Structure 1
Amino acid sequence: MDFIKEGAEIWMDLGLLIEAYGFRTVFSPELAVMTLLLALFYWKYGREDVSGLGSAGFALGIFLFYFALGGPLNLLGHFWFSIHMLQQSILYLVVPPLILAGLPAKFYSRTLQIPVVRSVIAVGGNPIVALLLFNGLFSFYHVPVIFEAAMSNYALHNMLHILLLVTAFGLWWPVYCLAGRQMLSPLKKIGYIFLNGLMLTPACGLIIFANEPLYAIYTGDTHLLCLPFYSLTVNQKPFELPWLTQLADQQLGGVVMKIVQEISYGIMLGYVFFQWFRKENADDQDDRLPEAAI
C-alpha cells in the first residue's frame, strides 16, 4: 500500500509540474524525438558486431541522457541542488560509458582514420589530459560564482554543459578505445579509473562539509529554467519541501554525486578486471592446447 501511495504522490507532483510550467517544459518533446531517432538509427545501422549487453548499455545510456536532460529532472534541478547533482552525475558519469560500451569496434578504428578527428582525440583523449580536463572543468563549474553565473545565463549554461559532456566522453575514451596510442592495458585502465575516483573527492568534500550554503541562487524567488532548446523565467517553485533546508540540500547534493561516482566507477573497475581475467584465462588455455595434444 505504501508503494501505491508513493506512486500516486509522484504522479500528483508530475501533474503539478505540467500544470505550472506546461508539458513542453517538463518533458522536452523535441529532445525526446531526437533521442528516439538516434536510437532507431543505432538499432538499424550501429549495433553490428556489438554484444547484446553492449546494445542494451547503449539503449540505457540514450534513455538516461533524455531522462536527465529532457525530463523533469532538469526542471527540478533548477530549484534543488541535490537534484541538479543527480542530473550531473547521470549525464557525465553514467551516460558516456554506457554509450561508448555500445559502439562497435569499427567506430573507434574509423574515427582514428579521420585526420582532424585523430588530431583532436590525440590531445583530448590522452588519458592524462582527459583526466585533468573533465575533473578540472567540473570542479571549476561548481565554484559558487561560476555556478551562479551559469544558472543565470542561458548561453553560458549551455556552453559549459556542452564542454562538460564532451570532456566526459573524452574521460571515458581511453577505457574503450581499441586502437591507437591511447589504447591502455587492463592494469592501466584500472589505475586510470581509480585515479579518476580520487579527483572529484575534494570538490564533493567541500560541498558536503561546508558549514553554510554556497549557492545563493537557490534561495531566490526568480529562477531561469535552462531547457534544452529554450529558456524560461519563473518566480515560484512547483512545490515546497519543508524538511529539506538549503544547507541540507547542498550536502545531499555532494553525497549523491559521490555515491553515483563510486557506483559508476566501481562497476567499471569490476568490468575491466573481469574482462582482463577472462582474457588471461583464455590465453592460458590456448598455451596449454599444444601440450595437451602431445
Structure 2
Amino acid sequence: MIDIILDEFHFSTLWNGGILLFLLFGLIIYFFLLPNDGQASRGKAVLFIASMVILFLAIASPLNVIARIKFSSHVIQLVLLLLVVPPLFIAGFKPKIIKLVREYRLLDKIISISTNPVVAFLLFYSLFYLYHIPVIFNYVRIDLFLNYVYLLILFNAALLLWISILYGKIKRIGLYILTNILAFLPFIIVLMVAKNSLYSVYTDINLFMSALALCLPDWDTIPEDFFVSLLPFDPVVEQIKGGGIFLISQLAVFIGSILYKKKVK
C-alpha cells in the first residue's frame, strides 16, 4: 500500500535535498576542518558517517513522509533520531574538539551541568513527554517551523542524555540505564492499551491534510479525495505496533550501550 502511495509523490517531496547538503557540509567540516589529535580513528569516522546517514534517513527520506501517514513509522523515526543517531554521533566525534571547548571555564561549566545524569534525564524526558501530549503533538505536527525546531531541541536533549550515559561518571550505570528503560514504559503502555486514537492528526482529515501538506509542493491543488485515500491504516493498530517497536528498540539500544560502556572503561 505504501509503495503505491509513494508513487504519487514527486522525488523532491520524498527526499530533502536541503538537509542532504547540510549533512554533507557537516561531513566536510568533520574530515577537513576540525582538528585531530590522533585519537579520531577510522572506527570513529565510520560511526560518525553512520550517524549522518541514519539522521538523513530519519528526517529527509521517504520515512519522513510515511511518518505523517502511519504512526508506527513516526515511532521508527523517533527511535532513529533519539536512540540510534545520538550515541553513534557521540562515539564518532573527535575528542580534540571537546578538549578545546572545555578549556573555556564558562563552557566547561555549562557542559558539566547539562550533561549531569540527573539534569540530562529530567530535561530529555520532560521534552519527550511534552511533545507527545496529544494537543501539543497535533499542533506542532501541522506547523513546519515548530515541528523541526522541537525535534531539533529534542535531538539536542538526547545528545546530552547519551553523553551522560556513554561518558558520564556514573557509579551504577546499569541502574541508570534501567531507569531510562523504565522512563519510556508509560509512553509505551499508553500506546499499547489505548482503545482510541490518541492523535487526531492521524485521523481528522483536516489536521491530516495540514500535516501532510508540509511535505507537498502546491498541495492546495490536490483534491481532498487523495488525502482521504491515504488514511487506510487503523490508528489503534498503528499505536500498538508503535509501542511494540519502541519497546524492543529501546531495550536493544540501551543493552548495547551497557556493552559499549564496559568496552570504553
TM above 0.5, one fold? Answer: yes
* CA distance in structure 2 between the aligned counterparts of 1:65 and 1:239, rounded to whole angstroms: 29
2:115 is the counterpart of 1:118: no
Which structure carries more relative contact order (alpha carbon 8 Å, separation 6+)?
2
Letter in 1 for 2:196: E
Question: In the superposition, relative to structure 1, how do residues 241 and 270 fare at CA in structure 2: closer, same or farther (>3 Å)?
Answer: farther
- Identity, in percent, stands at 27
Gaps of 5+ in 2: none
Question: In the superposition, relative to structure 1, how do residues 209 and 151 fare at CA in structure 2: closer, same or farther (>3 Å)?
Answer: same
Question: In the superposition, relative to structure 1, how do residues 176 and 106 fare at CA in structure 2: closer, same or farther (>3 Å)?
Answer: farther
1:59 is displaced (CA, Å) by: 1.1
Check whether the contact 1:65–1:90 (CA below 8 A) recurs between aligned residues. yes
After superposition, the C-alpha distances for 1:170-194 in whole angstroms (9 at most, x for unaligned) are 11122344xxxxx415x43333222
Check whether the contact 2:201–2:211 (CA below 8 A) recurs between aligned residues. no
Question: In the superposition, relative to structure 1, how do residues 143 and 16 fare at CA in structure 2: closer, same or farther (>3 Å)?
Answer: closer
Structure 1 segment 145-164 matched on structure 2, within 5 A: 145-164=135-154
Structure 2 equivalent of residue 272 of structure 1: 261
1:148 is displaced (CA, Å) by: 0.7
Structure 2 equivalent of residue 246 of structure 1: 235
Question: In the superposition, relative to structure 1, how do residues 57 and 220 fare at CA in structure 2: closer, same or farther (>3 Å)?
Answer: same
Total equivalences in the alignment: 256
1:274 is displaced (CA, Å) by: 3.4
* CA distance in structure 1 between the aligned counterparts of 2:9 and 2:139, rounded to whole angstroms: 23
Check whether the contact 1:93–1:261 (CA below 8 A) recurs between aligned residues. yes
Check whether the contact 2:142–2:214 (CA below 8 A) recurs between aligned residues. no
Gaps of 5+ in 1: 1-8, 178-182, 277-294
Letter in 1 for 2:70: W
Structure 2 equivalent of residue 71 of structure 1: 61
Structure 1 segment 129-278 matched on structure 2, within 5 A: 129-177=119-167, 183-185=168-170, 187-221=171-205, 222-225=209-212, 235=224, 236-237=226-227, 242=232, 244-276=233-265
Check whether the contact 1:16–1:238 (CA below 8 A) recurs between aligned residues. no
SS at match of 2:169: coil
Check whether the contact 2:71–2:239 (CA below 8 A) recurs between aligned residues. yes
**Please, which of 39, 43, 55 is the counterpart of residue 31 of structure 2?**
43
SS at match of 2:40: coil
Point out the structure with max Rg over C-alpha.
Answer: 1
**Please, which of 102, 124, 127 is the counterpart of residue 92 of structure 2?**
102
Structure 1 equivalent of residue 82 of structure 2: 92
CA RMSD of aligned residues (A): 2.7
TM-score (norm 2): 0.85
After superposition, the C-alpha distances for 1:66-109 in whole angstroms (9 at most, x for unaligned) are 00000011111111111011101100111010010011222222
* CA distance in structure 2 between the aligned counterparts of 1:231 and 1:30, rounded to whole angstroms: 18
Letter in 2 for 1:65: L
Question: In the superposition, relative to structure 1, how do residues 227 and 41 fare at CA in structure 2: closer, same or farther (>3 Å)?
Answer: farther
